[in-house]
């Protein structure tokens, strides 16, 4: 039996609220539940509990839920408990379980299978994907993959079902940034099986081409390879699929962007003038393809030292001004921090969201703001594209 929302509500109902004479089930503390592949997120509203009590309640919920899951033979890998205020804004987040794992895909690997060759050309793996977000940049090295990874992990930590596709054929970064190196790509029933890591389903072209033999990619080749990564992969039901596109505006990123039913594109840019000019070209490419621009992210916006002092290295606000000039939403500024680079190299993106004092806290808040802004822009894009139909509830 899979871990369903009712199963989770049932398991948590008898748990007592610290210092209060009631249980989760008897109060309206539990506001929202989501489950995906061993990752469970809940949102609670408990305004009278202190941070210490909220931490204790999260731990009690995790233990009870894990015991119930184990009894069903279903592993509980990670449990995230968010406490929200009356307006739904998150006040505290507690994550328990294996937050930094790199467990192998659960599906057994068929013996002697050559991944790409075994795929079913008729498969339509994207049918259950609600929103596809392309992350693009005018040039390489501005942090496009960093933004893709952290956006995906941040959305997953908020309880969404998220996929992440590394389509950057020129320099796939996911094997390192998600610590996939030791894992084998598997195919099952004609479909590529995504890796289940950090709460995200991930596929990277880096696991399918030999990194020692660089290929000279052309549009039609990219078309074929990209079709396999998208349609012939077992994405299942996803709220968001984040696609890390190759940088630039050449025929390869253009072909890929054209193939997808995109909700919109996120453009990553550093503050400098030269970076803005390149990013503006990427914006125009998407606009020509009639793809909504969800907004611009300013990466490497400023540097935060360990003393929490802020250094304005590249000209903070440059990308924000570009967004204003082009009449585009601005999604936020991400600082340069040593932790972000270290966590990326160590394949531990979840650690970026673990706020502390000083630079860590600044980074965690900046990433959370980015995630929230992207959620909002996708919702607006839905409205513009007429995907959200009004529903009349009659009680």
Residues that bind ligand ADP (CB under 6 A): 137, 140-146, 173, 247, 299-300, 334, 336-337, 340-341, 344
Closest CA to 339 of 355, 323, 317, 322: 355
Q: What is the DSSP string of 67-119?
A: HHHHHTT----EEEEEEE-TTS-EEEEEEEE-TT--PPPSSPPPTT--TGGG-
Closest CA to 299 of 137, 92, 119, 160: 137
- CA–CA dist 192, 188 (Å, integer): 7
Closest CA to 40 of 9, 77, 79, 67: 79
* Closer residue to ligand ADP (CB): 29 or 344: 344
* Closer residue to ligand ADP (CB): 199 or 248: 248
Measured at the alpha carbon of residue 55, what is the angle toward residues 50 and 60, in degrees to the nearest 5? 125
Minimum CB separation from ligand ADP for residue 172, in Å? 10
Q: What is the DSSP string of 306-330?
A: TT--EE--S-TTHHHHHHHHTT--E
- CA–CA dist 1, 98 (Å, integer): 22
Closest CA to 93 of 131, 139, 132, 43: 43
* Closer residue to ligand ADP (CB): 140 or 250: 140
Closest CA to 270 of 364, 133, 143, 136: 143
Minimum CB separation from ligand ADP for residue 364, in Å? 13
Task: For 31, list phi and psi in degrees, rounded to 5.
Answer: -100, -25
* Closer residue to ligand ADP (CB): 76 or 300: 300
Query: Is residue 197 within 8 Å of 180, Cβ to Cβ?
Result: yes
Q: What is the DSSP string of 133-192?
A: EEEEESSTTSSHHHHHHHHHHHHHHTT--EEEEE--TTS--HHHHTT-TTPPPEEETTEE
Q: Which residues pair with 202 in a beta bridge?
A: 164, 195
Element (H, E) at 298: strand 293-304
* Closer residue to ligand ADP (CB): 337 or 373: 337
Query: Is residue 354 within 8 Å of 153, Cβ to Cβ?
Result: no
Which residues, including other chains, have CB under 8 Å from residue 6's CB and lie 6 or more apart?
A: none
């Amino acid at each position: 039996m899979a871990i369903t929302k009712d199963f989770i509500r049932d398991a948590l109902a008898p748990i007592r609220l610290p210092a209060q004479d009631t249980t989760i089930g008897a109060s309206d503390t539990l506001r929202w539940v989501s489950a995906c592949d061993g990752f469970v997120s809940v949102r609670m509203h408990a305004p009278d509990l202190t941070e210490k009590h909220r931490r204790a309640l999260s731990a009690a919920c995790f233990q009870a839920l894990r015991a119930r899951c184990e009894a069903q033979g279903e592993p509980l890998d990670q449990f995230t408990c968010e406490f929200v205020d009356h307006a739904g804004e998150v006040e505290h987040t507690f994550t328990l379980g294996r937050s930094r794992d790199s467990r192998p895909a659960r599906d057994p690997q068929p013996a002697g299978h050559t991944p790409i060759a075994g795929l079913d050309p008729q498969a339509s793996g994207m049918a259950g994907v609600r929103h596809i977000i392309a992350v693009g940049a005018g040039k390489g090295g501005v942090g496009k993959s960093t933004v893709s990874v952290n956006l995906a992990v941040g959305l997953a930590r908020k309880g969404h079902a998220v996929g992440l596709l590394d389509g950057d054929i020129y320099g796939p970064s996911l094997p390192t940034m998600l610590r996939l190196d030791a894992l084998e790509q598997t195919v099952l029933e004609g479909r590529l099986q995504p890796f289940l890591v950090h709460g995200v389903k991930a596929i990277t072209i880096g696991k399918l081409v030999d990194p020692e033999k660089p290929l000279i990619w052309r549009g039609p080749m990219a078309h074929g390879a990209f079709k396999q990564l998208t349609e012939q992969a077992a994405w299942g039901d996803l709220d968001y699929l984040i696609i890390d596109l190759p940088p630039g505006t050449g025929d390869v990123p253009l072909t890929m962007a054209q193939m997808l039913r995109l909700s919109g594109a996120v453009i990553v840019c550093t503050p400098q003038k030269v970076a803005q000019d390149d990013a503006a070209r990427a914006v125009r490419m998407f606009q020509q393809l009639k793809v909504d621009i969800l907004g611009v992210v300013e990466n490497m916006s400023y540097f935060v030292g360990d003393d929490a002092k802020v250094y304005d290295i590249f000209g903070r606000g440059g990308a924000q001004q570009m967004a204003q000039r082009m009449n585009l939403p601005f999604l936020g500024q991400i600082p340069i921090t040593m932790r972000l680079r270290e966590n990326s190299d160590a394949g531990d993106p979840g650690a970026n969201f673990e706020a502390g004092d000083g630079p860590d806290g600044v980074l965690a808040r900046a990433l959370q703001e980015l995630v929230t802004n992207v959620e909002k822009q996708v919702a607006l894009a839905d409205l513009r594209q007429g995907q959200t139909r009004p529903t009349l509830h009659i009680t």
